[in-house]
Chains A and B, each alone.
Chain A
Amino acid sequence: QKEVEQNSGPLSVPEGAIASLNCTYSDRGSQSFFWYRQYSGKSPELIMFIYSNGDKEDGRFTAQLNKASQYVSLLIRDSQPSDSATYLCAVNQRVGNKLVFGAGTILRVKS
C-alpha cells in the first residue's frame, strides 16, 4: 500500500464547475496535510494545508480532512482554465518533518 494515494486522472470539469480531488493516506498518526498545485516543468506551489478534522476554506478552495477515514480532499469552486494542473496531496510524517507526496491528480478545466 502506498503511503499517499491519489487518482491519477485526468479529471475533466467544465469551467465554473466544482472540481473534487481526493487523497488517502496510510499513516494513521499523520498530523498535517497539504495540497500543492504543480504546472508542467515548475515546482509545486502550496495551495492549502490542514491539521484539524473538518473543512478549511480559502477563497475558491476548501480542504476537507477526516482522520478517522484517513482521507483528505480538495474542492475547487468556480473552476477556471488556469486551474488546469497536477494537484499533489502531501502528508507530513511524524518523524523528521518529511513530506510524502501522492502521485498527483491531473485536472483539466475546459472552457
Chain B
Amino acid sequence: GAVVSQHPSWVICKSGTSVKIECRSLDFQATTMFWYRQFPKQSLMLMATSNEGSKATYEQGVEKDKFLINHASLTLSTLTVTSAHPEDSSFYICRVLVAPGLAGYEQYFGPGTRLTVT
C-alpha cells in the first residue's frame, strides 16, 4: 500500500486565494520531506527541503513568502500556496526521506496534487 499520501489529490481555486497541500508519511517517521513542482511536459523541479521543527530551505528562485512550508511533525509537512495565480497551476509532489536503516536511506514520492488556479 501507499506509504506517502497527499491531500488533496486535486484542487481548483480562484486567483488570489490560498491553498494548503498536505504530505503525510504513513506508518513511519520522515526525517526530511522535499517539495517538487512539475509543469506540463517538464521535469520535476525542487522547490524546498523541509526538516521537522526547523525552517524550510528554499531553492533559488522560489519565493518563500509565497510558498509557505510547515513541517510540524515527523509525519506531516504542508505547503501553502499563498495568493495563488494562474501561473502557479502545476503538479505538486512531495518526496519523503526515511532515516537510514540497514539499507541506508529510503525515499518515497507522494501521489501528487494537481493545482489549477482560475
Contacts and interface: CB of A to CB of B under 8 A. Distances in A.
A in complex with B: yes
Interface of A: 41-46, 88, 96-104
Contacts of B45: 101
A43 B111 contact: yes
A43 B109 contact: yes
A44 B110 CA distance: 9
Interface residues of B, number: 20
A103 B45 CA distance: 10
Contacts of B107: 97, 99
A98 B109 contact: no
Given A42-B111, A43-B111, A103-B43, A96 B93 contact: no
Given A43-B112, A44-B44, 9 more contacts: A41-B91, A43-B111, A45-B109, A88-B44, A97-B105, A98-B46, A98-B49, A100-B46, A103-B42
A43 to B, nearest CB: 4
A46 B3 CA distance: 13
8 contacts: A41-B91, A42-B111, A44-B93, A96-B57, A99-B34, A101-B43, A103-B42, A103-B43
B32 interface: yes
B19 interface: no
B93 A43 contact: yes
A43 B110 contact: yes
A99 B49 CA distance: 11
